[in-house]
Amino acid sequence: MRQLTLLFIFAFISYIHALTDLSNGKSFDELIALYSESIHKDPSTALKYAIRAKSIIEISEKQKAETIYYISKYYNKLQNNKDALTHVELALSKSMSLKYELLLYKCFSLKGNIYNDLGQNSNALVAYSKAMEYTQG
């Protein structure tokens, strides 16, 4: 729990720094593009972009769901599977209410990856099977 608290404190400080230095004046799409560019190089910078994108008030519900998905990917990249699973579940809930099939596919696929990382192969298989349902367009 202490590590999680420290992570959130660090994320908050990073978020404030990101607001002033990295992302001022950027659109949601620009922030997500920056996130995508930095997720493999520097996950902590990617988190800054994702949090900033989430904080933009004028974003649509679809964009909020996408942002939560990207935050889940960040946690998964850092092997923080508990938070990754929490966020992917939230993104799935929002995506289902929006009937946003592409994001449903991505979320179920990520959920399968998270369960695979946790060694929960049967849950991973269920999630991957659900993802496949959304490839049948």
CATH number at residue 130: 1.25.40.10
User: What is the structure's pLDDT at 19?
Assistant: 44
CB atoms within 10 A of CB 31: 26
**Residues 71, 107 within the same domain:** yes
**Residues 7, 72 within the same domain:** no
Closest among 113, 106, 114 to 132, alpha carbons compared: 106
Residue spans of the chain under pLDDT 50: 12, 15-21
User: What is the structure's pLDDT at 26?
Assistant: 81
Q: Is-contact 131 108, C-beta < 8 A?
A: yes
What's the predicted TM-score (pTM) here?
Answer: 0.64
User: What is the structure's pLDDT at 85?
Assistant: 97
**Residues 33, 80 within the same domain:** no
What is the tally of structural domains in the chain? Answer: 2
Contacts with 44 (C-beta within 8 Å, 6 or more apart), sequence order: 10, 14
Backbone angles phi, psi at 125, to 5 degrees: -60, -40
User: What is the structure's pLDDT at 117?
Assistant: 96
Q: Which two tokens stand for residue 2?
A: 């202490």
What are the b/e assignments for 101-125, b being 16+ CB within 10 Å?
eebbbbbbbbbbbbbbeeeeeebbe
